[in-house]
Structure 1
Amino acid sequence: MGGFRKFLMRGNLVELAVAVVVGATFSGLVQALVADLITPLIAAVTGGRQPDFSQYKFVVNGAEFKYGDFVNHLLTFMIIAAVIYWLVVMPMTRLISFFDRDKKAAEQQCPECRSDIPIDARRCAFCTVELQTVPADDRPPA
């Protein structure tokens, strides 16, 4: 039982649980944004009609295929993905790049095997080639 308790209390599992809860809440927020703002905006641009394909279907040998409902869900997914990309991913990428641009390089590439190795290394840990060492004051800025 102690091993199971340790497994449950590991940092990764707790962080994952928090991420799932936050993700579920964020999903509701994004769905509300799409339903209440983005879809009416599309309706305003297309002449007052909200896109609804739920009635589209075809019948083969008595079997009814409601492909319109799938199209509705596909459009909703595409709109949500675009909103998340433009409102979350793009700003976070810019914010991260803003903080990373002033960082000094901590690693260099081995000229022989192209592995990432510490900048002060004298020998590659992967291919063991001896590296040319340049004093820190004479290195070009990264």
Structure 2
Amino acid sequence: MLKGFKEFLMRGNVIDLAVAVVIGAAFNAVIDRMVTSFINPIIGMIFKADSLDGALAVTLPGGGVLAFGAVLGALLNFVIVAAVVYFVFVLPMNKLKGAPAEEAPAGPTTDELLTEIRDLLKAQQETK
């Protein structure tokens, strides 16, 4: 039982996942600070609100509030995170890996090889 648990822990996927979770948590703090310090003030100027949470709010007759700004803020945060992940991590890693290697030209299929062998054997028998 302990051997199986040890094998599970030593798999590359588990270690990679653990590293990804830790890096993701640290990365979330950076993005949160960027949105709070940079994006929210710009949005505050445009919508005349401290953040999108209070912007574009529609009060309902029953006392509820539709917070369109909060949804827009969450979508904007997602787009920012996706852009930073792509441009800071994915794009540089792809450049470090280099251009994808070109695939070797495909050789003849098994049927083509068998046909060629058959024709060679037939030609060999005709010359005897």
| TM-score over 0.5 (shorter chain) | yes
Cα drift, residue 36 of structure 1: 1.2
Equivalent in the alignment of 1:42:
43
Change (3 A) 1:77 1:130: farther
Structure 2 stretches lacking a partner, 5+ long: 114-128
| Shift >6 Å, 4+ stretches | none
**Structure of greater Rg:** 2
2:75 paired residue number? 78
Q: Check conservation: 2:47, 2:55, Cα contact below 8 A.
A: no
Task: Using structure 2 for the length normalisation, give the TM-score.
Answer: 0.62
Give the Cα–Cα distance (whole angstroms) in 1 for the partners of residues 43 and 90 of structure 2. 27
Give the Å deviation of 1:105. 0.9
Q: What per-residue deviation string (whole Å, max 9, x for no partner) do you get for residues 26-78 of structure 1?
A: 1121111111111101223x165333149644355xxx54432xx34422222
CA contact (8 A) 2:57 2:69 kept: no
- On the 8 A contact 2:9/2:15 being kept in 1, the answer is yes
Kindly report the root-mean-square deviation, in angstroms, between the aligned alpha carbons of the 2 structures: 3.1
**How high is the TM-score relative to the length of structure 1?**
0.57
Gaps spanning 5+ residues in structure 1: where? Answer: 108-118, 132-142
Distance in 2 between residues matched to 1:38 and 1:122, nearest whole Å: 58
Any idea what the Cα deviations from partners look like across 1:80-118, whole Å, max 9, x if unmatched? 122224333145565426831xx54125xxxxxxxxxxx
How far apart are residue 121 of structure 1 and its match? 3.3
Per the alignment, do residues 129 and 73 of structure 1 end up closer, same or farther by CA in structure 2, a change over 3 Å counting? farther
Query: Is contact 2:49–2:55 with CA below 8 Å preserved after alignment?
Result: no
What amino acid sits opposite 1:3 in the alignment? Answer: G
> Could you tell me the percent identity over the aligned residues?
25
Partner-residue secondary structure (3-state), 1:80: helix
